[in-house]
Amino acid sequence: DTAAANALDDYEEGTWTPAFSATSSDPTVTYNNQYGWYLKIGSLVHIGVWVEIATITGGSGDLFITLPFTSSAHNYGGSGWAANRMSNDVNLSGSREDLYFSVGHSTTQMRLSQGGGATSNTQWTNGVGVGQISGNSEFAGIMTMSLI
């Protein structure tokens, strides 16, 4: 393929400021730290994020973190990652304690989701709601997503 977006010499690296938003109304968030980095090679982007929430109030719906790029328009172009460091998630419901972010197609946001439960009965939710995350929470991880 000779398209410019698919060329391996299409290289970019940089930083961005991740921030939380929500599906219905955005919460008011104060951050201790917000840091994001990316490395784009061709149509793949490696993204790292670290967010420490000092306080979070108001808002409604599922939580998202902004992305520096729009994901692929194809269903298989989305991506996800399990955060390698999270803290203060005691407000999450039931036995589903494993948090991860996922990216759908044609979006500029990562959805915070939870999974877990017994090995034989893994449960998944559509997302983590604003009311399930409290101040002094921290999220960090790395993911790769496709742009085409």
10-26: per-residue pLDDT in tens? 899 999 999 999 989 99
**Nearest Cα to 139, choosing from 128, 123, 148, 124?**
128
Q: Which of 31, 28, 66, 68 is nearest to 51 (CA)?
A: 31
Confidence band of 128 (pLDDT split at 50, 70, 90): confident
Instruction: Give me the mean pLDDT over the 123-139 stretch.
Output: 74
- Distance, in Å, from the CA atom of 84 to the CA atom of 9, rounded to the nearest integer, reads 30
48-100: pLDDT as tens digits:
988 888 999 999 998 888 888 888 877 665 566 655 455 555 545 444 456 77
pLDDT tops 70 at residue 144: yes
Question: Using a CB cutoff of 8 Å and minimum separation of 24, what contacts does 74-78 make?
Answer: 74/105, 74/146, 74/148, 75/105, 76/146, 77/105, 77/145, 77/146, 77/147, 77/148, 78/102, 78/103, 78/104, 78/105, 78/107, 78/145, 78/146
pTM for the model: 0.76
Tell the residue number behind the tokens 């203060």, with chain if given.
88
Sequential DSSP letters for 34-100:
EEEEEEEETTEEEEEEEEEEEEEES-BSBEEEE-SSPPPSSGGG-EEEE-SEEE--TTS-TT--EEE
pLDDT value at 29 more than 80: yes
- The reported pLDDT for the residue numbered 113 is 77
Terminal Cα distance for the chain, rounded: 12
